[in-house]
Amino acid sequence: MATEKTFYLETFGCQMNAHDSEKVIGTLLQQGYSQVESEEDAGLILYNTCSIRDKAEQRVFHRLDYYKRQQHLGKRFAVLGCVAQQEGEKIFERAPYVSLVSGSASYCKLPEMLARLEAGETRITGLDDRQTDETFETEFTARQNPYRGYITIIEGCDKFCAYCVVPYTRGKERSRTSSSVLAEARRIADQGYTEIQLLGQNVNSYRDPEGKRSFAELLAAVGQVGGVHRVRFTTSHPRDFTRDIVDAIDAVPTLCDHVHLPVQSGSSRVLRQMAREYTSDWYLERIAWIKAARRPISLSTDIIVGFPGETPDDFIQTMDLIEKVQYDCVFGFKYSGRPNTPALTMIDSIPEAEKVTRLQVLLDRQREIQRGNYARHLGEVMEIMVEGQHPSRGQIAGRSSQNKPVNFTWSQPIAPAPGSYVRVKITATHPNSLVGEAV
C-alpha cells in the first residue's frame, strides 16, 4: 500500500496549468509530501484539469473512473483547476471517492486544505466566486523544465469572449506586483535559468498593483535581469496589444522576436458575435506595428472555424487574413460549445462535416505559407537553445528565438546540455521545423 504522504500529479491542458502544477508540487513538497512516478505508488492522486477543450475534460473523468477501484487501498483523490471550478461539488456526486476539489484561484489556500485532508475530511472544496484578489505566489515552485523558467504575472480573465470558459473557471484578472515578478526573475536566473517565459491568460492585460510599470516596461525589466538570455511571453490579447510592446522587443535584445496574437476569426461580424471587441482592420493595424519593427518578428495565432453563424463568406475573410499576415504558425480549432458560455445560446447550425472541411482548408493553406516562410531561413546561421536530443535521428533538438523548432547535427562526442546555446547553420527546411548543423 502506498504511504500516506506520497502524491502523483497529472496535468491536462495549457502552459498556465503546467506552471500551476509546478507551484502545487512545490507546495506539497513543502508540506512534507513526496512525489512518486505513478498512481499505483501514490497515497494522494491529483489531476490538474483543463476545460478549454471538451476532450480534456472527458479524459479527467475517464482517469477518475479507471482508478476508482483503488479507493479501497486508502488512496485519496483531488481534482484541481478548471474542471474543478466548473463542476464544483457535482464532482463529488459523479466521483464520490474524490476528497478535494479546488479551482486555481484557491491554490493559495492549498496548505490549509491539505491539513483538512490529513485530518480526515472527505469533501473539501476551494471554489472561487470571482471576488478574490489573491494570486498564487510561492517560493517553493518545483520547476520541472530544466531550461525554461515560467513566471505567472497575471491570473484570471475579464474579457468574457462568447466561446470561452476561462473567465468562469479562473476568476477575475488580478496582477502580481512588478517587484515580486522581478524578484522571482532574479531568483530563477540565480538558479541557472537563462530563458524566462511570462504567463497569463491575457499576459499583456497586466496592470501593476504598485503602479510602477506597464506590461512593456515589465517585459523590458525582466529582459535586463543579469543572466537572462531570452524572455518570452504568452498569451497576448489583441485588445491590450500596444505599440510600446513592439518598441520593447526592438530595444531589448533578450526579448524574443516572436509574438503570439490570437485573432480567432478574420470576419469582423464573427468577431462581434464572439465578443472579441475589435475588428479585423483593428487587428491588422497591430500586425502592421509588428511588421514595421526593426527586428523581423515571427507571428503565430489561434483561429476558431465553424463558430455559430459563420457563413462561407466569413470563412473566406479568415482565409484572406492569413494571406495578409503570413503567420509562421496557426493553431486551428473547430468550435465546440463550453459550459456556461454565451455561445451556447446561439444556434450552432454548421454541420460537423463542414467544420472539418473548413479546418482542413485552413491548415492546408497555412502549411504552404509556413513552407515558404521557413524556406527563407535556408543558409542562415542562428542561435539555438538546446532542448534535448533525438536519439533515433542522431540530432539535437532546439528552438530559435522566433520559437521555431530546429534539429541539428553535432560532431562532438559530448552533446550540449539542455539550456545551452549553439550557433547552427540551416541546411534544410520543412513546413514546421528547420534542420541544420552546428557551426
- Each residue's pLDDT, cut to its tens digit, for the chain (439 residues) gives 445 799 999 998 888 888 999 999 999 999 999 999 998 899 999 999 887 766 666 777 788 887 766 665 678 999 999 889 888 888 898 888 899 999 988 888 999 999 999 999 999 999 877 777 788 877 778 898 888 999 999 999 999 999 999 998 888 999 999 999 999 999 999 999 999 999 999 999 999 999 999 999 999 999 999 999 999 999 999 999 999 999 999 999 999 999 999 999 999 999 999 999 999 999 999 999 999 999 999 999 999 999 999 999 999 999 999 999 999 999 999 999 988 899 999 998 899 999 999 999 999 999 999 999 999 999 999 999 999 998 667 899 999 999 999 999 999 889 999 999 999 999 999 999 999 999 9
For residues 169 and 52, give the distance between their C-alpha atoms in angstroms, rounded to a whole number.
10
Please name the amino acid found at residue 409. T
The three grid cell numbers given for residue 312, joined into one nine-digit string: 462561407
pTM for this entry: 0.91
Residue 368's pLDDT is: 98
Q: Is the dihedral of CA 18, 49, 138, 238 positive or negative?
A: positive
For residues 200 and 207, give the distance between their C-alpha atoms in angstroms, rounded to a whole number.
12
CATH number 2.40.50.140 is the correct assignment for the domain at 381-438: yes
Q: Computed over its alpha carbons, how large is the radius of gyration of the chain? A: 23
Q: Any idea which fold 6-126 has?
A: Rossmann fold (3.40.50)
DSSP code per residue over 146-179: SSEEEEEEEES-----TT--HHHHS-S-EEPPHH
Q: List the chain domain ranges.
A: 6-126, 381-438
Of the candidates 162, 130, 196, the residue with the CA atom closest to the CA atom of residue 340: 162
Instruction: Report yes or no: 104 and 73 within 8 Å, Cβ to Cβ.
Output: no
Q: Report whether the peptide linkage leading into residue 429 is cis, meaning its omega lies within 30 degrees of zero.
A: no
